[in-house]
Amino acid sequence: MAIKFLHDLDVLGNIDLNNNQSLNMVVQHLASDPTAVEGKIYYNTTNDVLKVCLGSTWTALSNIVQTTITGNAGTATKIASITNSNIVQLATTQTLANKTLSTATLTGTPISTTPATSDNSTKIATTAYVRAYAAQSLQSGIGSGDLAIDDTDGLQDALNLKAPLASPTFTGTPVAPTASASTNSTKIATTEFVTTAISNLVGGAPGALNTLNELAAAIGDDASYASGITTALGLKATIASPTFTGTVGGITKAMVGLGSVANIAVSGSNTGDESAAGTSTAGIVTRASDAEALAGTNTTKYITPKHLANRTYSATIGGATSIAVTHNLGTRNVAVTMYDSSSYETVYAEVVRTSTSVVTIGFSSAPASNDVTIVVNKI
């Protein structure tokens, strides 16, 4: 029969129930944990839980689980403490090979055997398995053509909004970078590029000639205007050293800018018109020959400074009492003067007009060589 206690029992020693039941027993009620005594049990009235002291830590009995782990070597009973952070702490360490843990939360860096990429089961897929399976899937799927663009949501719709590289057709208001004004290539020409190019082409053209219609009207709508101008220019003489052909006529003084030159017809060998030239009449004249200039008889031909120089002869003489001077002026009608070559004083001597080309000078005593300068002028 059982022993009934009608009030609290405060025992100072151990009670051995000898494997008998403790009936209608109520453990001590406390609002907070008492002093920790390993194995002590009490009821926490604040949290309404039964707590036991494990070591020096008070733990709710609801968190203590007795579980059976079946291994290859047989069955072992282990006590596990499941903390508030749901970390499984095994009382002893055991390798879990081919075992099942229900609703377990692993921490740290758990590792597992990597299954073959052909495995399709509930085994743990390691990171190595995922990488290998993804690479194999991409090679056998996309690489072999098994995966179509339509298989990817939204990809085909996005591609439909893109223009092809070959012969694209744009809609809306496409824009592109504007190339520099000097660009001459296959780059896209924007409206800004074209506007700038046309503006540079027109440049400072007057308003009446800054459109193609105005230019066409200015050249008489002649499509062959350029070739016509080229042909016409080919019929013109150059300003520098022009070469004329055929019969040149119709040239006025105003055309050539020679207001004092008469427009006189020339024929034959440019002779026959010399008499038209006079002191008050313009005309064509002929240059006199040296002989004609010396003779001084022609009244229509002109003489040059050379001719004037040919009417005078000068030389230095000396070294003899009689000296023949050849002047080649072609006449005895000459004036002869002499002077000292050093002092320039006039020298007087005998002068004989020996011929039309020679005068002979006589001295009473011979002057030194080149001491006397003689000048013969045709009169």
pLDDT value of position 45: 94
- pLDDT at 72 (0 to 100): 44
Task: For the chain of 379 residues, list the mean pLDDT of each consecutive stretch of 10.
Answer: 66 79 87 93 93 91 56 42 42 50 75 90 91 81 56 77 87 92 92 88 77 84 87 85 78 65 50 56 72 73 70 93 92 94 95 96 95 93
Is 160 within the bounds of a domain? Answer: no
Question: Residue 320: inside a domain, yes or no?
Answer: yes
What local confidence, expressed as pLDDT, does residue 315 receive?
Answer: 96
Same domain, 321 and 282: no
Q: Residue 128 and residue 141: Cα distance in Å, rounded?
A: 20
Can you tell me the distance from the alpha carbon of 38 to that of 57, in angstroms, rounded to the nearest whole number? 8
**Considering its fold, how many domains does the chain have in total?**
3
Whether residue 374 contacts residue 317, with contact meaning beta carbons closer than 8 Å, is answered with yes
Among 37, 63, 89, the domain-final residue is 63
* 310 and 374 share one domain: yes
pLDDT, residue 203, reads: 76
Asked whether residue 279 falls in the same domain as residue 343, the answer is no
Query: Which of 63, 86, 108 corresponds to the end of one domain?
Result: 63
For residues 325 and 322, what is the distance between their CA atoms, to the nearest angstrom? Answer: 10
Residue 329 in any domain: the answer is yes
Per-residue HEC secondary structure of 82-138 comes to ECCCCCEEECCCCCCCCCCCCCCCCCCCCCCCCCCCCCCCCCCCCHHHHHHHHHHHH
* Residue appearing with tokens 């003067």: 337
Instruction: Please indicate, yes or no, if residue 41 is contained in any of the structural domains.
Output: yes
Find the DSSP H helices in 166-265. 191-202, 212-218, 225-234, 253-256
Contacts of 261 (CB under 8 A, 6+ apart): 253, 282
Domain end position, chosen among 6, 40, 63: 63
Q: How many alpha carbons fall within 13 Å on the CB side of residue 251?
A: 14
Q: Which domain holds residue 273?
A: 257-286
Residues 328 and 266 in one domain: no
Q: CB–CB of 36/57 below 8 Å?
A: yes
Residues 326 and 365 in one domain: yes
In a domain, 274, yes or no: yes
Considering the domain boundaries, does residue 228 fall inside one? no
- What pLDDT does 268 receive? 43
Burial 101-132 (b: 16+ CB within 10 A, else e): eeeeeeeeeeeeebbebeeeeeeeeeeebeee
Write out the two tokens for 314: 């000068």
Residues 312, 282 share a domain: no
**CB–CB of 117/129 below 8 Å?**
yes
Radius of gyration, CA atoms only, the chain:
70
| Residue 294 within any structural domain of the chain | no
Domain assignment present for residue 98? The answer is no
Please give the pLDDT value at position 116. Answer: 92
> For the sheet containing 350-352, what is the strand order?
322-326, 358-362, 350-352
b/e burial code for range 148-162 (CB count within 10 A of at least 16 → b): eeeeeeeeeeeeeee
Dihedral (CA of 201, 202, 205, 209) sign: positive
pTM over the 0.75 mark: no
